[in-house]
């Protein structure tokens, strides 16, 4: 479970995230929506312990984000969109193994996990090839495996399908649904309302670092008397980029 408590982050004079409070239960996909610059990525990076909050905190399965950051990292997997950050000169297997060891796994348990993920993601043909010449979809599969090789109970997805073709996007979407089926607590950030409709149980909309609305898809549609989530979103954020 994820519980965010008055979470804030400022950079010099910019308040990127301002007093967020919400929970995500096990087996739930929460959509974190907002325009570019709204604070989504900053929030996810704090939850992944990549950034330290200015104020407030969060707990991941009861572990405090600040006081127990090393334990939090063991509980969290994160998948970013865009450049996946793999090492081109290493094989897919070596890339995944490297991150398994960073997460404290020994080689025996890591190898067992990698074998399972290779089968699950259908990577047998290229698991021992260098990733430098991989297609975007192949790289994203390796990035998926890297993010869950240590069996995290919490998953953070930051626009994971950006720049992907339809086939590669489907791979990521199916993976998110598999995480939900496996009872993981999930935060999913996306600009695609089609993906939000398909994947998310609840939605939190933020603007200028603050929550402006939250609820289930159906409750928001009922509240605003509008079946179109995109129109609701535009109404709430004003339709202007920051």
How far apart, in whole angstroms, are the C-alpha atoms of residue 188 and residue 28? 10
According to the model, what pLDDT value does residue 84 have? 72
CB-CB contact of 30 with 67 (8 Å):
no
Walk along the chain (242 residues) and give the pLDDT tens digit of each residue.
999 999 999 998 899 999 999 999 999 999 999 998 899 999 999 999 999 999 999 999 999 999 999 999 999 999 887 667 899 999 999 999 999 998 889 999 999 999 999 998 889 999 999 999 998 888 988 998 999 999 899 999 998 888 788 888 888 899 899 999 999 999 999 888 999 999 999 999 999 999 999 999 999 999 999 999 999 999 998 754 43
According to the model, what pLDDT value does residue 83 have? 65
CB-CB contact of 202 with 216 (8 Å):
yes
CA-based nearest residue to 125, from 91, 81, 171, 96: 91
Domain coordinates in residue numbering, the chain: 2-237
Superfamily of the domain at 2-237 = P-loop containing nucleotide triphosphate hydrolases (3.40.50.300)
Burial grade of 107 (CB within 10 A; 0-12, 13-18, 19 or more): exposed
Q: pTM of the predicted model, to two decimals?
A: 0.88
How far apart, in whole angstroms, are the C-alpha atoms of residue 75 and residue 232? 34
Q: Output DSSP code: residue 132.
A: G
């Amino acid at each position: 479970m994820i519980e965010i408590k008055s979470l804030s982050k400022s950079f010099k004079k910019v308040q990127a995230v301002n007093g967020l409070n919400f929970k995500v239960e096990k087996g739930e996909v929460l959509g974190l929506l907002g325009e570019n610059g709204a604070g989504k990525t900053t929030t996810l990076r704090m939850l992944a312990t990549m950034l330290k909050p200015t104020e407030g905190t969060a707990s991941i399965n009861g572990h405090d984000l600040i006081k127990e950051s090393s334990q939090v990292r063991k509980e969290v997997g994160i998948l970013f969109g865009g450049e996946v950050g793999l090492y081109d000169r290493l094989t897919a297997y070596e890339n995944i193994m490297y991150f398994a060891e960073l997460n404290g796994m020994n080689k025996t348990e890591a190898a067992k996990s990698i074998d399972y993920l290779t089968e699950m993601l259908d990577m047998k043909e290229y698991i021992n090839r260098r990733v430098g010449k991989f297609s975007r979809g192949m790289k994203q599969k390796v990035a998926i495996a890297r993010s869950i090789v240590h069996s995290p109970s919490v998953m953070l997805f930051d626009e994971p399908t950006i720049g992907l073709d339809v086939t590669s996007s489907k791979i990521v979407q199916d993976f998110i649904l598999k995480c939900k089926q496996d009872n993981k607590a999930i935060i999913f950030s996306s600009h695609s309302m089609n993906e939000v409709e398909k994947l998310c149980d609840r939605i939190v909309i933020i603007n200028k670092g603050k929550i402006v609305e939250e609820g289930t898809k159906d409750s928001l549609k009922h509240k605003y008397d509008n079946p179109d989530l995109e129109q609701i979103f535009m109404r709430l954020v004003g339709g202007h980029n920051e």
